[in-house]
Chains A and B, each alone.
Chain A
Amino acid sequence: MSSTEAELKSSTEGKTENGPSNDPDVVLEVINLRKYFPLEAGYLFKRKVADIKAVDGVSFKLRKGETLGLVGESGCGKSTIAKTLTFLHKPTAGEIWFKGRDLRLLSRKELREVARDLTMVFQDPAASLDPRFTVMQSILEPLEIHNLVDETEKYGIVRDLLLRVGLSPHHAYRYPHELSGGQQQRVGIARALTLQPQVIILDEPVSALDVSVRASIINLLIQLQDDFKFSYIFIAHDLSVVRKISHRVAVMYLGKLMEYGEVTDIYDDPMHPYTQALMSAVPIPDPTVKKERIHLKGEVPTPINPPVGCRFCTRCRFVRQKCFLEEPELREFDNGHLVACHFAEEIKAGTHKLADELADAEIADQQA
């Protein structure tokens, strides 16, 4: 596992049936993905004045039957990754390998084929269903787009899917407004399952739901994955939900990965100063636990002009001169745990002082 992780950043050599990593367990591999949006100015004649670097060189692998959680503050590029992977955005640069093929090189027709295996569930269950469609029509629509429906099988397919997601067959003839938020999200999930995909991308699928309903959707997603070995990319603001469902977690900041690893590495032993701050900000549902909080000052800078060097340097409590000058590489620590910080070792060992604790002399030393 760890040796393949090491290749993650660079190598695209030795392409095979299984994509660059040549690992049959990897279903989706993203290499150096970039998505820039043009920042336009002018009224009648729009011209591009700058790039919004929403995703700026992200690499990761998604394994069969596993969930990759994607976390980070608002605006760091999570949804942009989701939309780029599902062809709602065209990538600016980078490779997306799925089922042994680089998606950028495929024709429209081939892409449509691939799209069957790569589906998406959205945050707002009401907005993602067509209000004029019955549940049955919504669920069958993906099949119809791909001309895969056999009239005689329609009802049976819908019935099976409804039962799978914990609804009953009589829901087939209802319209979205006749369903609760939780039921609508179940229909959204049923719709994503229709084509029996390999990868399902879930962008904030439970954020709009109440706690009690949220619990049942999380149970459902875990159950479905255990039964069908789907791979999920799971995006959520609620970090305790991500912990519950994910095998691996990628922490993003301003369009880049800061840390990547197994869920326990990221939650129990975070190495990157940003991950540490993020985790420490999560309120614990236990009034007898008083936890030490790392105060993150200010907010995420704009992706139009991200800080040079380490992107986190404007808010990092361990910052040094080097951080303003050199961008840290994503380096591998034990067992596939990747961290992008110049001082990850020293911080872990507890030998790296906080920036506030440095005497002026030391800073001068640093700068020299």
Chain B
Amino acid sequence: MAENKAMDKEDILIVDDLHTYFFTEDGVVKAVDGVTFTVRRGEVLGLVGESGSGKSVTAMSILKLIPQPPGKIISGDVIWKGQSILNIPETEMRAIRGNQIAVVFQDPMTSLNPVLTIGDQIKEAIKLHQQVSDIEAEEKTRTLLELVGIPDAGKRLKDYPWQFSGGMRQRVMIALALSCNPDLLIADEPTTALDVTIQAQVLDLMRDLKNRFQTSIILITHDIGVIAEMCDRVAVMYAGNIVELADVITIFKEPKHPYTKALLKAIPSASSSRDEELYAIPGTIPNLINPPSGCRFHPRCAEARPECSEIVPETVELEPGHFVRCLLYTGQIEITK
């Protein structure tokens, strides 16, 4: 997956062969083990996979927020606007996190301060990153809350987080993230805890952002429907690796990796009748302390060959922009039909 770092002007973020491990009592958790992808300006990149596949650790690595110890970026690189973040000192990194890269997590309650009003929290964030007066900051806060669709924004500035519903808190988080006009928004399961109706509102808001401000978004989710609706490109993660990466149409219409195919078959479609069995991937996601040898998916793979437990697949580019990590395509083994 050697995408040329210097040449592609569009890429604002390059994650290159990233390895992030956790050194725990039980052993080394290889949470992210050789992940490569890029994010272009103004695109939504989806990161999809079952729980424990390394999506959040990838996000935290980009932000340099991995708790250390036990975690550590072992090797590889994260390049933000041409500069490796691994060499950026923490003070500068903090400025980037506030100003250029923003993040929204699944549970907004844990990321808001319970003893400060909603208005004060946003105001503080604005004043931290921009040279504005108190009055200007207050004005901007109201505009932001209106932008994310909080009715009666002026009045609700004085409310505390617990007085807001889950959907409203999530929109406040997005308002907070927007307060610095970020170039990249990392949204880690932003709608997982919400009703579909509220989810639709939050997704609309993110789409609007992308269209109006050319904000790039990394959207982490395990919801295939959300991926289909929101993303331009999709990276499918399994056990610490990206197993397939392509534009959204290719992923849904011509998936190549057996895991991608299995994921798509496991969700009920509108047309599937009650008697049709859903495809259930056998087994469970592996322990990342001692992942399976060879291809990590081999114990659960419907198309596995004997070699799959021995040879680690390389990543190949099947078509321009379509990357797959599976021995059926790499030419590392002979395929007999």
Contact = CB atoms under 8 A, between A and B. Distances in A.
Same complex: yes
Interface string A249-288: 0000000000000000001000000000110011111111
B258 interface: no
B262 to A, nearest CB: 7
Contacts of A211: 50, 222, 224, 263, 266-267
A245 B285 CA distance: 25
Given A211-B267, A243-B270, A277 B197 contact: yes
Contact of B266 (A182, A215, A296): A215
Given A215-B278, A218-B278, A288-B253, A283 B225 contact: yes
A299 B198 contact: yes
Contacts of B199: 281, 283
B280 interface: yes
A286 B50 CA distance: 19
B331 interface: no
Interface in A225-248: 237, 239-241, 243-245, 247
Contact of A282 (B151, B225, B266): B225
A285 B51 contact: no
A320 to B, nearest CB: 22
A116 B197 CA distance: 37
B209 to A, nearest CB: 17
Contact of B228 (A73, A237, A243, A285): A285
Contacts of B272: 244
Contacts of A177: none
Interface size class of B (residues with CB under 8 A): 35 or more
Contacts of A283: 196, 199, 203, 223, 225-226, 228-229
Contact of A212 (B167, B223, B280): B280
A150 interface: no
A285 B264 contact: yes
Tell me which of A212, A293, A295 has the highest count of chain B C-beta atoms within 10 A of its own C-beta.
Answer: A212
Contact of B196 (A243, A281, A287, A298): A281
Tell me which of A244, A267, A293 has the highest count of chain B C-beta atoms within 10 A of its own C-beta.
Answer: A244
Given A74-B195, A239-B196, A296-B197, A286 B228 contact: yes
Given A222-B274, A267-B270, A284 B229 contact: yes
A277 B249 CA distance: 26
A22 interface: no
A277 B200 CA distance: 11
A229 B225 CA distance: 32
Interface string B238-261: 000000000011001100000000
Tell me which of A245, A277, A286 has the highest count of chain B C-beta atoms within 10 A of its own C-beta.
Answer: A286
Contact of B197 (A182, A243, A278, A286): A278
Nearest to A283: B225
A182 B201 CA distance: 31
A237 B274 contact: no
B108 to A, nearest CB: 14
Contacts of B166: 74
A180 interface: yes
Contacts, number: 111
Interface in A140-196: 180, 182
A247 B223 CA distance: 24
Interface string B169-205: 0000000000000000000000000011111110110
Nearest to B248: A287
B165 interface: yes
Contacts of A285: 224-225, 227-228, 252, 264, 267, 269
Contacts of B264: 285
Given A212-B280, A237-B196, A244 B268 contact: yes
A210 interface: yes
A219 interface: yes
B91 interface: no
B279 interface: yes
Contacts of B267: 211, 215, 240, 285
16 contacts: A73-B195, A182-B284, A210-B51, A212-B50, A215-B266, A215-B280, A216-B280, A222-B274, A222-B275, A282-B196, A282-B225, A283-B223, A284-B270, A286-B252, A287-B231, A293-B200
The 9 closest A-B pairs by CB, nearest first: A283-B225, A216-B280, A212-B281, A215-B278, A244-B268, A210-B50, A215-B280, A215-B266, A281-B196
Interface of A: 73-74, 180, 182, 210-216, 218-219, 222, 237, 239-241, 243-245, 247, 267, 277-278, 281-288, 293, 295-296, 298-299
Given A211-B222, A299-B198, 11 more contacts: A212-B266, A212-B281, A215-B278, A218-B268, A244-B268, A278-B196, A281-B199, A284-B229, A285-B227, A285-B264, A296-B200
Interface of B: 50-51, 151, 165-168, 195-201, 203-204, 222-229, 231, 248-249, 252-253, 262-264, 266-270, 272, 274-275, 277-281, 284-285
